[in-house]
Chain A
Amino acid sequence: MASSTSAVKELQRELDNKANDLSKLQKDIAKNHQVRKKYTIQLGENELVLKELDLLEEDANVYKLIGPVLVKQDLAEANANVHKRIEYISAELKRLDAALQDLEEKQNSKKEAVRILFSFFASFLMQFV
């Protein structure tokens, strides 16, 4: 009887660990969603700016807000900056997508593991009923 109670405890600990891992993964996924949302919004804003810049004449005056000051900037330079930023954000979004897929795969396998462990645990307990 003593060995079976220790086995139960062992199983329970393992189950707890797995459940913790699972919730950690789910938290990571939620975080990923949040960050991705932020980047998507920024990407949209940058694309709007780019569209505006494309409409301008060559000699238009463009200013960049740096802290509290407006600094005059070349149209070409501003264009290049926005392009670079869009590239960066797109790359970042792609990276986040890959990370999310990875996390979701991990989550699914963890879920399966928890499920198996739980059914094993339940059938183990059934022996004593």
Chain B
Amino acid sequence: MASSKGGSSGSGSGSVGLEKLSVEQLKAVKEQTDLEVNLLQDSLNNIRTATSRLDLASAALHDLSLRPAGKPMLVPLTASLYVSGTLDDADHVLVDVGTGYFIEKTMVEGKEYCERKINLLKSNFDQLFESKIVFLNLNEMDLVDSSIIGRSSFWGFRGGGHSSISPLPPL
């Protein structure tokens, strides 16, 4: 989902002829790649948080399955207010599957659900990670950086900095 838009231009033009591009074009290519990498990094972070939350849920289920029914417990109403209660049904849990739907599952099914989601996220993570590696393709970035610097000193201003020439509209 992350690489749906504008993903082809960066890597496509990268190998063709970076040497032939102008400084402005090189900067544009670099910006585009940076943007893409940042987007992928964000997605990776999101997946990581989601995975850790599912891990937490799975651990909580495991914890709950160890307790016998009728066990007294404290139920959190708010972060700081607890009321006492007893564990009535230790075998069934409600699972939030998204878009407002909850499904009643047994403890085992609930754990399976967590496992399934974690596996799904893991495969997504791997996929994203691969595409990030492709984008990051350090050689290309280095090439962009060094050719900007090289070209810039040729043009007489400092590499990578804000240039004083503004792009002229094509006539």
Contacts and interface: CB of A to CB of B under 8 A. Distances in A.
Contact of B170 (A46, A53, A82, A115): A115
A92 to B, nearest CB: 16
**Chain B interface: which size bin?**
10 to 19
30 contacts: A33-B5, A40-B1, A40-B4, A41-B1, A45-B99, A46-B99, A48-B97, A48-B98, A49-B97, A49-B98, A52-B103, A53-B101, A60-B103, A60-B104, A60-B105, A61-B103, A62-B101, A62-B102, A62-B104, A63-B101, A63-B102, A63-B103, A65-B101, A65-B102, A70-B102, A78-B101, A85-B99, A115-B169, A115-B170, A122-B171
A1 interface: no
Contacts of B102: 62-65, 70
B94 interface: yes
Nearest to A123: B171
A49 B101 CA distance: 8
Contacts of B103: 52-53, 56, 60-63
Contacts of A45: 98-99
Nearest to A48: B98
B100 interface: yes
Interface string A34-77: 00000011101110110011001000111111100010000000
A64 B99 CA distance: 9
Given A52-B101, A63-B103, A65-B102, 17 more contacts: A40-B1, A48-B98, A49-B99, A49-B101, A52-B97, A53-B101, A56-B103, A60-B105, A63-B101, A63-B104, A66-B100, A70-B94, A70-B102, A78-B101, A82-B99, A82-B101, A118-B171
Contacts of B169: 115, 118
Contacts of A65: 100-102
Contacts of A115: 169-170
Interface in A74-129: 78, 82, 85, 115, 118-119, 122
Interface string B98-135: 11111111000000010000000000000000000000
Contacts of A70: 94, 102
Nearest to A70: B102
Contacts of A40: 1, 4
A61 B100 contact: no
B127 to A, nearest CB: 14
Interface in B3-19: 4-5
Nearest to A75: B103
